[in-house]
Chains A and B, each alone.
Chain A
Amino acid sequence: MNRQPPKLFLRFLRWFCHPDLVDPIEGDLIELYDERLKASGRLHANTKLAADILLLLRPNIIKTLQGTQQLNLLGMFNNYLKVGFRNILKYKSFSLINVFGLAVAMAVSLVIMLMLNDQYSYDQFHQNRGQIYRVLTKFKDSSLPNGPSPYPLASALQQQYPFVESATHLLRKVGGDMIHQQSTNRNSTEVRGFITDPNFFQVFDFQLEQGDARKALQSPNTVVITRAVADRLFPEENPVGKIVAYADRGLELIKIDIGNVKEDTPQDWGFFTITGVIDMSQYKSHIRFDMLIADTTLPTLQENGFKNNDEENWKQYSNVYTYVKLMEGSQRAKLDAALAELTTTNYQSTVGLETMELLSQSMNEIITGSFVGAPLSLRLPSEAYIVLFVLALIIMCSACLNYTNLSLARVLTRVREIGVRKVNGASRWHLVFQFLTESVLISLLALAMANLLLLVLKPTFSNLWINEVLSFNLSLNFTILGIFLLFAVLVGLIAGLYPSLVLSGFTPLKALKDFSGGKTGKNRLRKMLSVTQFAFSLFFIITSLLIGRQFDYIMHYEYGFNTADVWNIPVQGNDYRLLQQEFSTIPGVTGVSASEFVPALLYTNGASIRLPEEDIPHQSETLGIDHHFISNMGLELIAGTGFTSADANAQKVIVNESAARILGFEDNLAAVGQSIEALRGTYVITGIIKDFKFQAPIMGNGETPLVMHYHPEIISYLNLRTAPSDRKAMVNLLAEKWESMDEIHPFKAYAYEDQLQRANQMVSDLVWVIRVITLLSLIISCMGLLGVAMYTAERKTKEVGIRKVLGASGIQLMKLVGKSYAIIMLLACLIAAPLSYLINVQWLESFPNRVEFGLGTILLGIVIMLLLALLTIGSQLLKVSRKNPVDSLRYE
C-alpha cells in the first residue's frame, strides 16, 4: 500500500512555508498522516492533511519576502527608495520645483480626465446601448449633421425592415405649464418634454416608478411625468390617475434663459391623465425631460391647429428625434443600408432636399462624439476635448521637460554614486531602474499634491458659467483614482526615462574620476529643452494676449444701436399692445417698442428672400417688430419710411442695406417700393435701414441681409427704454404694473446690457481657461529656468569668486553667467513668434468680428517673457555676484 501523502499538498507547503520551519513541520504532518491513514483510511487522512496545511497559512509561518535569492531585487528596490527619499530631502529646492511643476500640470490633466470620465458615464444604464442608434439628417454640403429627422422615419424603419426591433420618435419643442387644478393653491409648474409613443420604453431602459410602461402612453391625453414634477404638483399624493391641465408654450428642452428666445403664446391643450411616474434622478442620460405626452393625442392637437400633421411629411425634418433599437446581433451596416434606401426613395427627387442624407449615430457616440445641430442636451463636443487634451499635454510635457532638464543639470551630484554602484556590480539596467524609481517617486508625490490642487480647482471650475449649461459632475471614484495612479506612474516613467538612460551610461572609471570638466553634448540638449519650453511659453503668452484683446473687443462691441437703459420684457402670452399701453404710463419710461425676439443675443431666425423673377433664394435673417421699434432702438432709416400703426399684418417689410445689396438693387432708393418674395408671400419694401449689429458678435458682424416685418401675433418681447434711473426702483415699478395685469406668470425683465454680457459669457469662460493654462505653463517654465539657474550659479561660485578677486565688475559677472540664457531666449523667440502668428491667425479668422493681430501683440509677448526670465535668472545672478569672494572661495 502506498503510504505517501499526496505530493501536491506537500509541494504547496514547501512553496509557502518559511524555510527554517518547513522540515520539522513536514515531518510532523507525515507522521500524523501515517497514523490517520492506519486509523481511518486514505480519504480522511487526505482531508485532514489539506485542512492542516491550509491552517498553516499564518503570517509567521509563511516565508518572508526578504533574503531569498530571487527576491534580491526587492532588497535593492528598498535601497533605491531610501536613496530616492534621501535625494529628495537633500535637494529640497529642486525637489520642490519638480514636484510642484508636475503637480500643477497633473491637476489640469486630472480635471480633464474627470470631465471625460463624466462624459463617458452617460447613457450607460441602457442594457443594449450597442444596439440603439439615433438617426441624424445632414445636407451633403453642410459641415454639421442635425439631431432631428422626419416624422415618418420611425414607423417606416419599423415596418419595412425586420432587423429593427423597435423605433421611437420624440417630437420636440413641447413645453409649457402643467397645472393641478384640484389642488388647494392650484399647484403649477413649468414642464418640458416630448410627444412620443409607447415604443419609447422598449427602445430605452427607462423604468416607470409607478404605472405600467406598456400601457402608459397608449390612449390619447395621457402623460408620464417625472418624480420631480409629481412632487411639485402632488405633494404627498399618488399622482397616477390624476388629471392635470396643460398649456403649451413651445419651450425648447435646453434652458439657457438669458431672455433672448422667442416665446410662443400659450395654447390650451386641455386635460391629461397621468399614467406613469419616472424617477429621472436615477438616469444619467442625454435625454432629459419632465414629461412625455402620448402621441395618440396628436390628432386632436392637429384638429385644433396646435400641431401640423407631419405623419407622411418627409420634407419636415427638424421636429422629431428618431431612435432605433436593432435586433440582437444586427450589424450597423444593415441600418446604414436601410437609411440610404430611404434617402433615395424620399429625397432624391424632392426639390430643395436632393442632397439630404440620413445617417446613423450610435448611442455611445451621442455624448462623446462631435457636435450635431439642435442637440438634445448641451455638452462639449469631442473637438473641444481634443483642444483641452492638447493643452494639458503641452503643460505636462513642459513639467516633464523640467524634470529631465534638472536631472541632467544635476549629473554631478550623482556621478560618484553611479560609479560606486557600478563597481559593486550594478548593471546599467539596475541603474536605469533606480533612476526610474526616483522619478516615479517624485511623480507620486506630485500626484498627492495635484489632488490637493484639485480640491481648489474643482469649485472654481464648477462655478464657471459653462458648467451651468454642461453640468459636469466631477466626483471621484475608485476607478478614476486608479487611473490617476497609473497616470502618475506613467508620467514618472516618461519624465525619468531620458535622464536615467544618460546617467546610467557613464563608465565607472569616468564616473569616479574627477568629472567637473563635463562639457559634453548633454549641455546642448539641455539648452534645446529649455528653448522648447520657452517657445511653448511664448506661444501661450501671445495667444493669451490676443484672446484677451479679442474678448475685450467683443465685450465692448459697438452694436450700432442704443442698448443703454433698455429693459427687455417677455410678454408671456399676454397681448403686447395692452402691456405697451400700460407700461408707457409709468413715469421714467420714455419709449416702449415690441419685437419677436431680442436681437444681438444668440438667437436668430433665418429665412430666404428673392425677387419675384429670381429662381434661387438668398439666405437672410428675419426679425418681427412693431412700428415703434426703429425709433425706440435708435436705428437709422436711410431711405423710405418706417412702419406705422396701420401696417400691422400688412405685406410690408423694412430691409437693411445688405439685403438691398444682395437683392441687386442699384441703390437704396431704388429698392423702396419694390416687391420681394419672403416669409409668407410677396412683400413690398417700404424702407431701408442702415446695417446694425443684430447678431451676437461671435455669430456675425451685422452685414447679413435682414428683413424686418410687422406681425403682431409673433411678438413676444417688449423693449422698454427708460430715462437713466435706479434699476431696482424701476423693476419694482414695472413688476407692480405687471401684477395688476397678469396674475399667473411671474414678472420677468432683463436689462439689455446684462443680457449682452451673458451672451458673451461663453467666450469669457474660454478666455479664463486659456489664461489659467498660460499662467500655469509660464510658472512651470520659469521654475525650470530657476532650477537650472540656481544650479549653474552654485557651480560657478568659485569661478565668480576668483574673477571678483581679480577685479571683475558686477556687470561683467552677470554677462558671464547670463550669456547662455540670452541665446536660449533668442532661439525661443525665433521659433515661437512666427509659429504663434501662423496658428493664431487660423482661429482668429473664424471670428466675424476680430481685432488686428500684428507685430505689436507679438512684441508685447516677447517683452513679458523676457522680463519674467530676467526676474528668475537675475535673482540668482545677483546672489552670485554679490557674494563676498572670501566666502565663495571657501566653498567646497
Chain B
Amino acid sequence: MKKFQLGEFEEVVMLTVAILYDNAYGVSIKKEIETRLNRKVSVGALQSALKRLEDKSYLKSHDGEATQERAGRPKRFFKITALGKEAMEYTRSTRNSLWDAIPGISLDVKFSLDRII
C-alpha cells in the first residue's frame, strides 16, 4: 500500500504552491504552471485538485482581504502543511530510488540503436 497518494498533476500543484510561497492563490498558481510547464490549466481542474489536496490535508488555506479588482471576492491562499511536505519528499525519494536502480546501459540510447541497426 502506498503511503502517500499524490498524482502527477497534484504534485505539480504542490510544487507550484511551494514556489509561490506567500502568494499562492487560484490565478497565480494557474499562471505559474502555464508559464513554467507550458501547459494549459483550466480553473476547474486546478480548483478540483486544490480541493482534493486540502481534503488530504496536504494543503491548508486562508482567505485574504477582499479587493476591488475582484469585485469584493477574497483570494484564497494556500500553504503546504507538514504532511504535505512529507508527501512531496516521499514522492521525490521514491522517484529517486527508482532512477538510481536503473542500470546505466538500459538508457544508453546509442547502444540500443546500434543493436537494432
Contact = CB atoms under 8 A, between A and B. Distances in A.
A28 B46 CA distance: 11
A51 B51 CA distance: 20
Interface string B60-80: 000100000111011110000
A190 interface: no
A29 interface: yes
Interface string B19-43: 0000001110010000000000011
A58 B74 contact: no
Contacts of A51: 42
Contacts of B55: 60
B47 A21 contact: yes
A99 B104 CA distance: 70
A60 B51 CA distance: 7
B52 interface: yes
Contact of B27 (A28, A58, A61): A28
Interface string A32-51: 10100000000000000001
Contacts of B76: 23-24, 27
Contact of B44 (A27, A30, A31, A56): A56
Interface string B69-103: 11101111000000000000000000000000000
A61 B71 CA distance: 21
A52 interface: yes
B44 A55 contact: yes
A5 to B, nearest CB: 9
B27 A52 contact: no
A287 interface: no
B26 A57 contact: no
B5 interface: no
Contacts of A24: 25-26, 63, 73-76
B112 interface: no
Given A21-B47, A29-B43, A52-B43, A60 B25 contact: no
A262 B71 CA distance: 95
Contact of B70 (A4, A31, A60, A61): A31
The contact size tier of chain B is 20 to 34
A21 B42 contact: no
A310 interface: no
Contacts of A58: 44, 47-48
A52 B76 CA distance: 18
Contacts of B26: 24-25, 27-28
B41 to A, nearest CB: 10
Main secondary structure of the interface of A (DSSP, over half): helix
Nearest to B67: A27
B12 interface: no
B73 A55 contact: no
A794 interface: no
A61 B45 contact: no
A57 B55 CA distance: 18
Interface string A1-37: 0001000000000000000010111111111101000
B89 to A, nearest CB: 26
Contacts of A30: 69-71, 73
A27 B51 contact: no
Contacts of A57: 44
Given A32-B43, A55-B43, A56-B43, A23 B74 contact: yes
A32 B44 contact: no
Contacts of A26: 71, 73
Contacts of B74: 23-24, 27
A60 B63 contact: no
B57 to A, nearest CB: 15
B25 A61 contact: no
Nearest to A18: B51
30 contacts: A4-B71, A21-B51, A23-B74, A23-B76, A24-B25, A24-B26, A24-B73, A24-B76, A26-B73, A27-B26, A27-B71, A27-B73, A27-B76, A28-B43, A28-B47, A30-B71, A31-B69, A31-B70, A32-B30, A32-B43, A34-B69, A52-B42, A52-B44, A55-B45, A56-B44, A56-B47, A57-B44, A58-B48, A61-B44, A61-B48
Task: List 6 A-B pairs, minimum CB-CB distance, nearest first.
Answer: A27-B73, A55-B44, A24-B76, A28-B26, A27-B70, A56-B44
Given A24-B26, A56-B47, 18 more contacts: A21-B47, A23-B73, A24-B63, A24-B73, A24-B76, A25-B26, A27-B26, A28-B47, A30-B69, A32-B43, A34-B69, A55-B42, A55-B43, A55-B45, A57-B44, A60-B48, A61-B47, A61-B51
